[in-house]
Amino acid sequence: MEYGQYYPVAKALEVLGERWAMLVVRELLCGSTRFSELQRGLPNISPSMLSKRLSELEAAGLIMRKRIPGQRGWEYFLSEAGGELGEVVQKLGVWGMRWVRGTMSEADLNVQFLMWDIQRNIDAAKLPGRETVLKFHFSEEKTTRDWWIVVTSGKPDLCVDDPGKEVDVYFTTDCRTLTEIFMGDTSFKAARADGRLKLVGPPALLNTLSSWFHLSAFAGFDAARPT
């Protein structure tokens, strides 16, 4: 889309104003590099649309792609220009939390994206031992009710198939409750107190939950109150 203006905001939006473009940048900023990882962070985008946006962002000089060694696929990385959008995405997210997020509708809830976002916010360095297994059960989900995060070698891995490992902490809840916790709208303590969340695990892990289960980077920014 061209706006026919020299104004820098207009020129920036010619590149970033297309649907999904800024969210692709957000995923790259969050550490996704492969096409499959980008899809998991953007579960509602079609493969063809994702390919198109990646090509457009590459043509604009915001990302670069490199062959995965020994494989046929590509990895995608932000260029210097793309990396400078980090502050823009952060400020846009804070603005969204304060002014337009409002109450989450059912359409805003997506357990796949929630779990993908949670797993990349787990602080593996704060977990004891070589391996920690977390299991999440969403009783109201019609398709995938059970999810696992397996943390080994300092890296969390999200699974939808039972990894066959001993579980350390069980989370039983619903997508809305865990989303509200992750976004800072409610606390683990409050959700447990009213029965919306059940946690089972050793006290050593449950008592340090806030140290290794990091909330969204935008948690804590309250909605603005217009005067």
- 175-226 tens-digit pLDDT: 999 999 999 999 999 999 999 999 999 999 999 999 999 999 999 888 887 6
pTM: 0.90
With beta carbons less than 8 A apart as the criterion, state whether 115 and 147 touch. Answer: yes
Q: Is the pLDDT of residue 56 over 70?
A: yes
Spatial separation of the C-alpha atoms in residues 132 and 209, rounded to whole Å:
13
pLDDT in tens, 6-25: 899 999 999 999 999 999 99
Check residue 224 and give left, alpha or beta (phi > 0: left; psi -120 to 50: alpha).
beta
Q: By C-alpha distance, which of 47, 64, 55 is closest to 21?
A: 55
Q: What is the pLDDT of residue 53?
A: 97
pLDDT at residue number 220: 84
* pLDDT, tens digit (0-9, with 9 covering 90-100), for 90-136: 999 999 999 988 778 888 999 999 999 999 999 999 999 899 999 99
The alpha carbon dihedral of 95, 12, 114, 212 has a sign of negative
DSSP SS3 for 75: strand
pLDDT of residue 125: 93
DSSP for 121-179 reads TB-GGGS-SSEEEEEEEETT-SS--EEEEEEETTEEEEESS------SEEEEE-HHHHH
User: Does the pLDDT of residue 36 top 90, yes or no?
Assistant: yes
Q: Check residue 144 and give its pLDDT.
A: 93
Average pLDDT on 145-151 reads: 97
- The CATH architecture that domain 107-212 belongs to is 2-Layer Sandwich (3.30)
pLDDT at 211: 96
CATH class of 8-99: mainly alpha
Given a cut of 70, is residue 77 above it in pLDDT?
A: yes
For 149-184, what is each residue's pLDDT tens digit? Answer: 999 987 899 999 999 999 999 999 999 999 999 999
CA distance 127 to 184: 22
Per-residue model confidence (pLDDT) at position 124? 94
| pLDDT score at 148 | 98
Torsion angle of C-alpha atoms 164, 216, 106, 45, degrees rounded to 10 = -80
Q: Is the pLDDT of residue 60 over 90?
A: yes
- pLDDT at site 227: 64
SS3 of residue 100 by DSSP: coil
Domain ranges of the chain: 8-99, 107-212
